[in-house]
């Protein structure tokens, strides 16, 4: 049993359905401070629905979601927005605003949140975040001028600019070539070490799971079907777990 003070995220009995389609069915998860959990699942298994529930973009039919010890399902909009300032969310497509420069994309979350910053503080945070991902030189570029890997890095910089305690990564390497994928994974690890963040990483990429996960959860039939380290699950004789490791090195 984890020390409650170190529990960043706790999900208990989470269930959500869209009509007759049950996506999550009594799903459970516990994330402790400084830990990376990778949630593995096939396409359409409910991985993205899970993280949308965690940030309050979707409301489940049943269950509880405790973020930093607070049940977010009981919060009003103002209180939820304040908790969101401590959560970083990297969307699968990076979700940059095409009409804004890189600088403006990074300034945007600071304008929307509850923290009052001077222009010089905003400038410092933007430049620090871009320097962290090796793209300070791209500060005045438009998203259309960026490669897929650069867009992903900018997305990570924007995610980290508010110094979140919890980061949710939705398929962080989707659409990237193997070399760029490894660079993004290494960047995720470097930034975790630097800022001591805790992360939930949604992925079907076994190389991401192997390199980033302290613990892996297999999402199957809407449930936490199995959990353990990469090595523990790879040794499993369960064919439902084996299918994820079949082509893993």
| pLDDT tens profile 43-72 | 888 898 999 999 899 999 999 999 999 999
Measured distance CA(144)–CA(43) in Å, rounded: 28
| pLDDT tens profile 124-163 | 999 999 999 999 999 999 999 999 889 989 998 988 888 8
Question: Can you give the pLDDT at residue 91?
Answer: 79
Question: Can you give the pLDDT at residue 160?
Answer: 86
| pLDDT tens profile 185-236 | 998 898 888 888 999 999 888 899 999 999 999 999 999 999 999 999 999 9
Question: Can you give the pLDDT at residue 1?
Answer: 43
Q: Give yes or no for residue 249 having a pLDDT over 80.
A: no
Question: Can you give the pLDDT at residue 81?
Answer: 87
Question: Can you give the pLDDT at residue 114?
Answer: 56
Question: Can you give the pLDDT at residue 118?
Answer: 85
| pLDDT tens profile 88-119 | 888 777 778 899 999 999 998 777 655 678 88
Question: Can you give the pLDDT at residue 43?
Answer: 81
Measured distance CA(84)–CA(239) in Å, rounded: 38
More confident residue, 195 or 4: 195
Q: Give yes or no for residue 3 having a pLDDT over 70.
A: no
Question: Can you give the pLDDT at residue 44?
Answer: 81
């Amino acid at each position: 049993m984890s020390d409650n003070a170190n529990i960043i995220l706790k999900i208990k009995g989470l269930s959500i359905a869209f009509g007759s389609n049950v996506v999550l069915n009594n799903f459970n998860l516990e994330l402790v401070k400084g830990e990376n959990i990778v949630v593995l699942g096939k396409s359409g298994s409910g991985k993205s629905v899970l993280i949308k529930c965690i940030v309050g973009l979707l409301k489940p039919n049943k269950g509880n979601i405790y973020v930093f010890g607070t049940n977010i399902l009981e919060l009003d909009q103002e209180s939820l927005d304040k908790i969101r300032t401590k959560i970083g969310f990297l969307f699968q497509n990076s979700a940059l605003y095409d009409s804004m420069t890189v600088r403006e994309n990074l300034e945007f979350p600071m304008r929307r949140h509850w923290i009052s910053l001077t222009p010089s503080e905003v400038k410092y945070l933007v430049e620090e975040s871009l320097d962290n991902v090796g793209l300070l030189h791209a500060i005045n570029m438009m998203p259309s001028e960026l490669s897929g890997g650069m867009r992903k890095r900018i997305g990570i910089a924007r995610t980290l600019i508010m110094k979140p305690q919890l980061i949710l990564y939705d398929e962080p390497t989707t659409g990237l070539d193997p070399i760029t994928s490894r660079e993004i994974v290494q960047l995720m690890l470097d930034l975790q070490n630097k800022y001591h963040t805790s992360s939930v990483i949604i992925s079907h990429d076994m190389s991401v799971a192997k390199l980033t996960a302290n613990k892996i959860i297999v999402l199957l039939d809407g449930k936490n079907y199995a959990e353990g380290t990469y090595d523990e699950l790879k040794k499993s004789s369960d064919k439902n777990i084996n299918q994820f490791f079949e082509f893993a090195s």
